[in-house]
Amino acid sequence: MNWSPRVKPIKIRQLYRYARLGIYEDTLLHDVGWELHARCADIATVADVYREGCVPCPKCGTKITRRIDPLFSKGEGGTREHWFRCPHCTGRLLWRDCRQALRNTPRCFDCRAVLQKEVVLRCACGKTWSQEAYKQSTRTRVLLPCPHCLELVRRPDTPPRDRTTKNRRSEPELQCPKCQSVARHQHGNIECTACGYKRRWRDYRKSLKKKDEKLECPNCEHTFKWQAWRKSVRSLRTGNPQPARDFVEKWRKCRTPQQRMIQIDTLLQTLHGRGPLAPLFIDSGEHKIREMLDDLAS
């Protein structure tokens, strides 16, 4: 896949120089905005690979499910056992997604209206919370609004230990490294009934991390290796893709030059507060980027 390049700092400086004069240069605003949008979309795509375990084909973009990936915890958002679906909109969720949505946009727990931020958080229905009380309530409640449809969903129960172990034995299907037959995960080992292969499960998992998994696209039949793909997206990998996702979602809704400039400025302010994240978006070193963002913020 051809990943989008990082944005040149000189374009950002020119954009802000015009903005300070009250001028919104359409061509420059368009270039910077859509370059940031493309970069953010790529960062979100790579984050979804580690979150969902589906790798996009470099040729046609078809998502390919990895066989090895389900054996490991996800890099963003916990393990597969904690995923659940909203009973109203069937959206795929983590409980932390519900909490994070309320941290970003506080809502009333009863009517789900957006709270007004004053000295206290106030709802149109008359209820009020202090900031600390609202945070505490968000942490302890078992019913929270779904981030997608805003209907109340119940916090899923943690799977029992024996149930989790059972799921790991049956899913995904294991393959014997020696004879390629179906193997089982039992008693802390991986065992093959066909050839008698037996190995400690912990050692087997470690060996899989070093294995160069071969992936084949069912659509275009293109084959590639996971390790090579992972190296190609190293510059797009981050544990905090939320700013990129937010920009992608909001950028397309902008209709005026002022709205576009606000979204670009919001993203850059977020990057300014999270220094190590900025070099993923801007084509320069971390020190020079910080100097530029300090200058733009002054």
What pTM was estimated for this model as a whole?
0.60
Tens of pLDDT, residue by residue, the chain (298 residues):
688 899 898 999 999 898 888 888 888 999 999 999 999 999 988 888 877 778 888 888 888 887 665 454 444 434 444 678 888 888 878 888 888 888 888 999 888 899 988 888 889 888 899 988 898 888 889 899 998 898 999 888 766 554 444 444 344 567 787 787 888 887 788 888 888 888 888 888 777 766 667 888 888 888 888 888 888 888 888 877 888 888 999 998 988 989 999 999 888 888 876 666 788 888 888 788 888 888 887 7
Residue 294 corresponds to which tokens in the numbers above?
């300090």
Q: How many CA atoms lie within 13 A of 213 on its CB side?
A: 17
Give the 3-state secondary structure of residue 104.
helix
| Element (DSSP H or E) covering residue 175 | strand 174-175
**Which residues lie closer than 8 Å to 191 by C-beta, 6 or more apart?**
183, 184, 197, 198
- Backbone φ, ψ for residue 222 (5° rounding): -75, 135
